Amino acid sequence: MKLWGGRFRKEENRLMEDFNSSLHVDKRMYFEDISGSIAHVNMLTQCGILTKEEGSKILEGLKAILRDIENASLRIEGNYEDIHSFVESNLTQRVGDTGKKLHTARSRNDQVAVDIRLYAKRKAQEVVSVIEELQDSLQNKANENPVIMPGYTHLQRAQVVTMKHHLMAYYQMLERDKKRILNALDILNESPLGCGALAGTTHAIDREMTARELGFAKPVDNFIDGVSDRDYLLELMSGFSIIMMHVSRLSEELILWSSQEFKFIEIDDAYATGSSIMPQKKNPDAAELIRGKTGRVYGSLVSLLTTMKGLPLSYNKDMQEDKEAFFNALDTTLSCLQIMSKMITSMKVKSENMETSVKKGFLNATELADYLVKKGIAFRDAHSIVGAVVIFCEDRDKGIEDLSLEELKTFDSAIEEDIYEYIDYRNILNKGTKVALL
């Protein structure tokens, strides 16, 4: 039975029915759909649009549907157009003709808009807590490993840093990610319920009341905007895309670090896989999948941006495509954050290899220049002197700290015995702003 069958002379084409149906996608919003309807019925009763008896009969029916879905005695399936049609048909089957009054002063346009806002609110809060879990994993791993390691620019060894500071860089990225999601949650916190199809209703409904009951700060100001707006999904997905960009960069580093070339970490067996032919292989699949799935999340964002860009106001069926894109981006982001968190917690840090790598690549060259500056030499001159020292060392396969004082003095007579203490990799971090790396 169609919600809108009255003005049609012909049955809907079978292919069209399948093409039009979104039940398989929007069924996951059953809780929000029923909650929205409960708030709507409470309000209709309060405003005298439904009698108390009608109101409680419908409420009972809605609560029973929710209970049956949750205890799995009612499966969301069958030949229904969407979750809204499913719930309404089921209600009428249960409570009879009174059920047909549920949709008074409401359209599926404001109904779906409120459902998806409620769903987005609930799930975005889940994203925030999973972000916090990953932040905890990073912080714990950082504190457990007070080890020095090479810091890179251009993927070339640059200066000494600590594993802690490196991991905490990701913590900071996630802190901003969290703020972006919370900000989107703040902006979306207005209820579109009561906008009707696009033009309100002749019934004297109370939008403040439904907004309050559903936990929104207020009803939206404009009906047409209320049913047309999907900005909040785009904002959340753009937040998810940035999160994915961050965890993808982290994945890339884990992949590099776990290679034989780096050997900085070992990924736990639980998050790796082997090869069907090469018995020795242990591949960092979890990290690779996170890096790969980033493309899917960007794709979902671009897909909905593109869907929305040409739509005239107000509701258009194109917008039904919003959910698949949003759910895909959401599910992917949640699972990637969870896997990353477990991978970080379980990975082994090979401190000795990190320390050894610090000693190759002149990671104390900048500090030698700093030393010369302290002896009164201009930084630009110091830079060039150290350049010559590096060439000298390279030719002899030595580190700066391996040169004798005599050798060092040939580059500048200001260099004295205290140079060794100054450019020692561990001591470097005790000076100036570098203490923040510890």
Interface with ligand ARG (CB under 6 A): 22, 26, 82, 108-109, 112, 315, 317, 319-320
What amino acid occupies position 11? E
How many residues are listed for the chain in this entry? 438
Residue positions annotated with a catalytic role: 154, 275
How far is the C-alpha of 137 from the C-alpha of 134, rounded, in Å? 5
- Backbone φ, ψ for residue 153 (5° rounding): -130, 145
Q: Is cis: bond before 413, omega within 30 of 0?
A: no
Residue (109 or 251) nearer to ligand ARG, CB: 109
- Shortest separation between residue 234's beta carbon and ligand ARG, angstroms: 16
Q: How far apart are the first and last CA of the chain?
A: 68
Q: What residues contact residue 284 under an 8 Å CB cut-off, 6+ apart? A: 254, 255, 258, 267, 271, 272
Residue (98 or 320) nearer to ligand ARG, CB: 320
Q: What residues contact residue 402 under an 8 Å CB cut-off, 6+ apart? A: 393
266 has which bridge partners? 348
Q: Check if the beta carbon of residue 372 is closer than 8 Å to that of residue 382.
A: yes
Question: To 5 degrees, how large is the angle CA 36–CA 38–CA 42?
Answer: 120
Q: Check if the beta carbon of residue 199 is closer than 8 Å to that of residue 227.
A: no
- Shortest separation between residue 97's beta carbon and ligand ARG, angstroms: 23
Residue (20 or 183) nearer to ligand ARG, CB: 20
| Phi and psi based region of residue 196 (left: phi greater than 0; alpha: psi -120 to 50; beta: remaining) | left
Query: If residue 150 lies in a helix (H) or strand (E), which one and from where to where?
Result: strand 148-153
- Shortest separation between residue 229's beta carbon and ligand ARG, angstroms: 13
Residue (271 or 315) nearer to ligand ARG, CB: 315
Name the DSSP letter for residue 291. H
- Shortest separation between residue 18's beta carbon and ligand ARG, angstroms: 14
- Shortest separation between residue 206's beta carbon and ligand ARG, angstroms: 23
- Shortest separation between residue 24's beta carbon and ligand ARG, angstroms: 11
Residue (56 or 316) nearer to ligand ARG, CB: 316
What amino acid occupies position 6? G
In 3D space, the residue among 121, 344, 153, 311 whose CA is nearest the CA of residue 217 turns out to be 121
In 3D space, the residue among 160, 161, 180 whose CA is nearest the CA of residue 169 turns out to be 161
